[in-house]
Amino acid sequence: MQDGQLIIRNLGRQDYSTVWHAMQEYTDNRDAESVDELWVVEHTPVFTQGQAGKSEHILAPGDIPVIQVDRGGQVTYHGPGQLVVYPLIDIKRLRIGVRQLVNTIEQSIVDLLKPYGIEAYPKADAPGVYVSDNKIASLGLRIRKGCSFHGLALNVNMDMEPFHRINPCGYAGLQMIQCNDLNGPKSVQEAGDKLVHILSGLLGYKQLVQYQGLAE
């Protein structure tokens, strides 16, 4: 592995299951020399239910599929206009723990929003990023063989209605908000380009290598 290198994989819009299984495959097959990657993607509409998920938090999914997944956390919604970033990182090699990775991801979102005048913050007891008690970004990770997958979802400029069909992250009445309504980033690309550079910098990567699409 080239020291300090990070692959940025821009996936565009993809269905959830394809990317999820590709993350699992990459994590299962990587070794000590594998370069860390950040996958940047928008998903077609889907509810995902984490390992702690309870069915009563899925109120009325309607025509949107529900997928049981192997990340931490409860139920959330992914859809077009939401920035999703998956850090596929060897945290053992970086010499950081899970809590430090979570803190760094949350801090990168706070740092992204600050220049737009958005005062965002994490909560110690409820992973994610909030603005005035409303949730703007969700977080759910899985660690396998000392390596992370799954990641963050930042609401940018999307149809927020599906969040009313669930108790987001298992909290009844939790209000979800998005960047566009707070004069923040207007597009997934704008938010994604900035977040990638902030997050990679906080994690200490020196060289970013851009790729389009999933690896063949």
Task: Give the CATH number of the domain where residue 15 resides.
Answer: 3.30.930.10
- Which pTM value belongs to this model? 0.96
195 assigned to a ligand binding site: no
On the question of pLDDT at 214 being above 70, the answer is yes
The pLDDT of residue 101 is above 70? yes
Query: Percent of the chain beyond pLDDT 90?
Result: 85
Q: 13-51 burial string, b = 16+ CB within 10 Å, else e?
A: ebebeebbebbbebbeebeeebebbbbbbbbebbbbbbe
Q: Are 116 and 107 in contact (CB under 8 A)?
A: no
- 140 annotated to a ligand binding site: yes
Q: 62 lies in which domain range?
A: 5-212
> How many domains, in total, are found in the chain?
1
State the catalytic residues: 169
Residue 77 labeled ligand binder: yes
**78 is an annotated ligand-binding site residue:** yes
